[in-house]
Structure 1
Amino acid sequence: MTPPFTLNNRILILVATISEKLGALSITQPQSADLRLRRINQVRTIHGTLAIEGNELSEAQITAILGGKRVIAPVKEVAEAKNAIAVYEQLMTWRSTNHADFLNAHRTLMMGLIDTAGRYRAGGVGVMKEGQVIHMAPPADRVPTLMQSLFTWLANSDEHPLIKSSVFHYEFEFIHPFSDGNGRMGRLWQTLILSEWQPLFAYLPVENLIHQHQDAYYQAINQSTALTDSSPFIEFMLSMIKQALEELDPQVSHHVTPQVNKLIQAIVQEMSREELQIACALKDRKSFTERYLKPALEQGVIEMTIPDKPRSRSQRYRLTALGQALKFS
C-alpha cells in the first residue's frame, strides 16, 4: 500500500537543487577533511537528535563522551548519548529495508532506558506537547501490520531516495511503533536510507538543523496528518537537507585567523572572558573582544554557556565540536 503524498513544484525544485549541490560537493570536497568532518558532524548529529527529545548535554560533553572521557551529567542523559553514539557508529552496517536491522537499531538506541528496547509497543501511545495530546497513534495491535506494509513499500518503491526517505520518516512517526525513542529512530532511519544512496549523508548533521527548527518540524508533521498527505513534511525535510549541504561546503575549507586559533588553543573547559584574555596574554580588553572573542563566536568554534544572557557575570565560554576538532586536528 502506497502512503499518501503529493509532489508539488517546491518539492521537485528542492530535489533538483539538492542533487546539484551533492554533485558539486563530490568534486570540491577534499578527502583529507573526511575524518575531521565526520567527527564534528557526528557530534552535531547526536547532539541535535537528543536535544529534540529534551537531553541537555552540550556538544562539548558529547565530544568528551565520544572520546571515552567522563562527564558530570544526569546518568540517563549520558546513557542516551552513549547509545546514540553506538547507533550512529553502526549506521552503515544496517540495511534500511531489513526489518530485523531496524529492531536491532532500536534495541541499541534504547538499551537500558526502557524495558521494551527492540520490541514494538503493547499499548496505546500519544504524542504530547505542553500537556496536550497532539497525536494519538494507531492501536498497538495494528503496529506490526502497518510497519510491515511500510517496509514493503520502502523496498519496492522507485521514488527518489530524497522523497522515499522523507515519506518513510513521516509514516513512521505517524505509526509511533515504540513506547519510546520514536523520534530518534525516525531521524536515524531517514539518514540510513539517504546514506545508502549517497554516503555523504552518514555525516551530514541534518538532525542538528531539525533541532534548530524544532517547532517547524512538529508543525510539518501535524500539517501532514491533518491533510492525510505527507507533502508538508517532505518539503520541510528537504529544506533542512538543502541547508545542511549549504553549510557543509564552507565547513570543509574552514579557516580561522591566527588570533582565533590562539584562542582555540588557549581555552580549557569552560572559561570566563577574563580568564581567556589572560590565557592569550592580552591586556587590551577591546582588542581581545574584537579580534579574538567575537570572531570565534561568529565562526562557531566557541559558544557561550549562557547564550540567552550574553552579558551575565556568570558567562563562560567553551569549545564547540568544531572548535574541538580544530584544536586537536
Structure 2
Amino acid sequence: MGGRDTVFDGATPARWWHRLDDGRLQCDLCPRDCRLHEGQRGLCFVRAREGDAMVLTTYGRSSGFCIDPIEKKPLNHFLPGSAVFSFGTAGCNLACKFCQNWDISKSRAMDRLMDRASPQQLAQAAKDSGCASVAFTYNDPVIFAEYAMDCADACHELGLQTVAVTAGYMHAEPRRDFYAKMDAANIDLKAFSDTFYFQQTGAHLQPVLETLEYVVKETACWTEITTLLIPGLNDSDAELDALTRWVADRLGPSVPLHFTAFHPDYKLDELPPTPPATLQRARRIALANGLQHVYTGNVHDREGGTTRCTGCGETLIVRDWHAVKRYELDARGACRHCGTPLAGRFAAGPGGFGPRRIPVRLAGA
C-alpha cells in the first residue's frame, strides 16, 4: 500500500474485503466478518460500504494528539523514559462494557475527529516534538490499519519507531501486513475465558491468543501484554493461574505482563475499583508460574513497577508512576552488574521525559 500525501476529508479505499454471492461485501479485517449492504457500516462504525467497495471513513482524522511517556502505553522494556507521540481515531471492533476510553472508542460522532493530519505531517510533528516513537492508541488501531500502516512508513523514513496498543482482534492476513510495520505492541489479554470475552466484549478469546503467538514468535515486534483486572469477572486465582501459565508456556517467560486496575466506567460503573491487593496477588501468581517481568498499573506500587535482572537479581529500573528513577543498564541493554541482557529494546541510555502528558495541536489541523 502506497503512502498518501494529503489528508482525506472523506472515505479512502479499504483493504481486506471481498464480495459475497448474495451481493453483500464482507470485511476480512477482523473475526467479526461484517457483511454489508450499500450504505452500511461495520460494528467498528468506521469501515463502511460505499457502492461496490469498502472504505475507511477516518483516514487522516484523529480524536487528538498527545505526547506521553512510553511507560503509559504501557511499555516498560521499550525505550524506557522516552516520549511517544500518541493518537487515535474513533470507533472500535470490540464492545467492551468496561471500556476506559469509551467516549472515543464508542463514539459515532464524527465531530469528535477534530484534528487532521497526513501520515507525513504526523511523523514530522512527532519528530519535531522530540519523540522517539509514535503510538496508535486510545482506540484500537486495527480498525484504522491503513492509516496506521501509512503513518508507520512515514515514521520509519524519519527514524521514528512505531507502537500499536491493541486488543489484537484481527485475521491472519491483515495481521501479517500490520505487524510487519510495528516496532512494538502492547496487546490486551482481557481474560482467559471465552465466556468473559463473549459476555463482556462481544468477541472471542482464541483470535487474541493467535495474535499473541504470531507476533511474539513470528515477528520482530517487541511485545508486552496487559490484563485489566475487574473484580469478580476475571480476577480469580484459577483464571490468573491459567492465564499466566499460558503466557509462560506459549510465549516465554521474558514477555512482560502488566496487571492494571479497573475503575468504574461505561457500562460497569457500579462495580468497585480493583483493590491494590488484587494486583499484587496476580503478580505473585505470575511470578510463581515463571514469568520474569510482571508489573502493576493504575496504582502507586513502586515494587510493581521495578525491573530486576534475571541473572543476578539486581534492581535494573525503578519507576515511580511513569517516571524512571533508577536505570542500571549499559548501552547494550544489559545489566551493569553481571552483564545479563534484559529482554526488550533499549537505547544507549534512558530518556528523561518523565510523567508529563502534553496535548498537541498540529499546525493546520
More helix by share: 1
Return the structure number with greater relative CO, CA threshold 8 A, min gap 6.
1
- TM-score of the pair, normalised by structure 2: 0.27
- The TM-score normalised by the length of structure 1 is 0.29
